[in-house]
Amino acid sequence: MTELTTATRLPDDGTRLRARLAQAAGGLPEPSARQRRARRRAAVTGLFRHILLIAFGLIMLYPLLWMLASSLKPSELIFREPGLIPTEIDLSNYTDGWNALVNPFSTYLLNSALVVLGSVIGNLVACSMAAYAFARLEFRGRNLWFAIMLMSIMLPIHVVIVPQYVLFSELQWINTFLPLIVPKFLATDAFFIFLMVQFFRGIPKELDEAARLDGCGHVAIYLRIMLPLALPALATTAIFTFIWTWNDFFSQLIFLTRPDMYTVPVALAAFRDSTGETSWGSLFAMSIVSLIPVFLVFLFGQKYLVKGIATTGIK
């Protein structure tokens, strides 16, 4: 009743309220001339908004599309035509770029793939184990350890990189993939522990209690209940690990110095340094090749990416 009196005092919102009441009562309101006008105006501003959003999106993506187009053009045309559609398609940039360095580019792709694969498996196994302990087990000092884990997320890698380098070179691990993979099996990407703890906490406790009554231990509960139910969180972890590791440059630059052990980013940087400004066409071609895996993961894993960012705020 009070709502209605407010509505009569404020005629503008009154119509909306009355329309809502009519909808609630089951019948759709007859569109008045005024409502039709408002709707048309909304359609026009909506269209306007779409045009602006698309234009903005094009500006955002233009450099990427231009790089793709340029990689298909003969080098001398790249700087003469800024347009996106190449007048002639020329794949020689790709064949030139592929063989421009000491090793064929497939070597670097394979190296990157191995590092990524190891990192994904390591993160999935080690982070989910730690997350299970933090989410489900009672142990002394849990809150303290949890806080330490959270703080380690924010730790810049630069604070530990020098001693890590010393440690790994003592172990003769420089120019192997071990310095890049082994830490993942020790759950050093604490971001994913946090992500999975958040997810595990959302799984009803009754499920593990029921399993415990049936005689399951923690290992069985973790393997047979938590992991299958946490597939979305595992997918998010796998996808982000893939993209981050594929793009990672700093640690790969430090730990991999022998050309045949280069990963894609290190090889690209070396390519850029060795050819300078002369062969943009093949440099672009290999850059495109290096972006394709990330783009594919983005295309097929979008759902998990968006969910992952929304729940934890990771990049």
Partner 1 sequence: MSTTDIPRRAGVPARRERRRSRAVSRGDGRAAALFLAPWFAGLILITAGPMVASLYLSFTDYDLLTPPEWIGPENYTRMFADPRFLNALQVTFTYVLVSVPIQLALSLALALVLDKGLRALPFYRSVYYLPSLLGGSVAVAILWRQVFGADGLLNQFLAVFGIEGQGWVSHPDYALGTLVVLNVWTFGSPMVIFLAGLRQIPQMYYEAASIDGAGRVRKFVTITIPLLSPIVFFNLVLQIIGSFQSFTQAYVVSGGTGGPADSTMFYTLYLYLKGFGSLDMGYASAMAWFLLLIIGGMTAVNFLASKYWVFYDD
Question: Is residue 126 a contact point for partner 1 (CB under 8 A)?
Answer: yes
Identify which of 312, 170, 304, 295 has the alpha carbon closest to the alpha carbon of residue 233. 304
Provide the sign of the torsion angle of the four alpha carbons 162, 187, 268, 250, taken in this order. negative
Q: Phi, psi (5° rounding) for residue 118?
A: -60, -40
Stretch that binds partner 1, among 21-29, 89-97, 107-115, 260-268 (CB under 8 A): 260-268
H or E segment and range at residue 213: helix 205-213
User: Which is nearer to partner 1, 25 or 59 (by Cβ)?
Assistant: 59
Report the C-alpha gap between 31 and 164 in whole angstroms.
Answer: 71
Look at residues 134, 93, 125 and name the one whose alpha carbon lies nearest to residue 289.
Answer: 93
CB of 188 to partner 1, least distance (A): 5
Return the residues of window 85-124 that contact partner 1 according to CB under 8 A.
none
User: Which of 109, 116, 187, 227 is close enough to bind partner 1 by CB under 8 A?
Assistant: 187
248: which DSSP letter? Answer: -
- In the numeric block, the tokens 């990189």 are attached to 161
String of contacts with partner 1 for each residue 296-315, x by CB under 8 A: --x---x--xx--xxx-xxx
Length of the chain: 315
Interface with partner 1, residue 176, by CB under 8 A: no
**Span near partner 1 by CB under 8 A; candidates 22-30, 64-72, 98-106, 111-119:** 64-72
Q: Map the footprint of partner 1 across residues 196-255, applying CB under 8 A.
A: 212-213, 217-219, 222, 243, 246-247, 249-250, 253-254
Under the binding rule (CB under 8 A), the answer on residue 160 touching partner 1 is yes
* Calpha distance 198→219 (Å, rounded): 20
- Of 115, 130, 230, 233, the one binding partner 1 by CB under 8 A: 130
Residue 257 beta carbon to partner 1: minimum distance, rounded to whole angstroms: 9
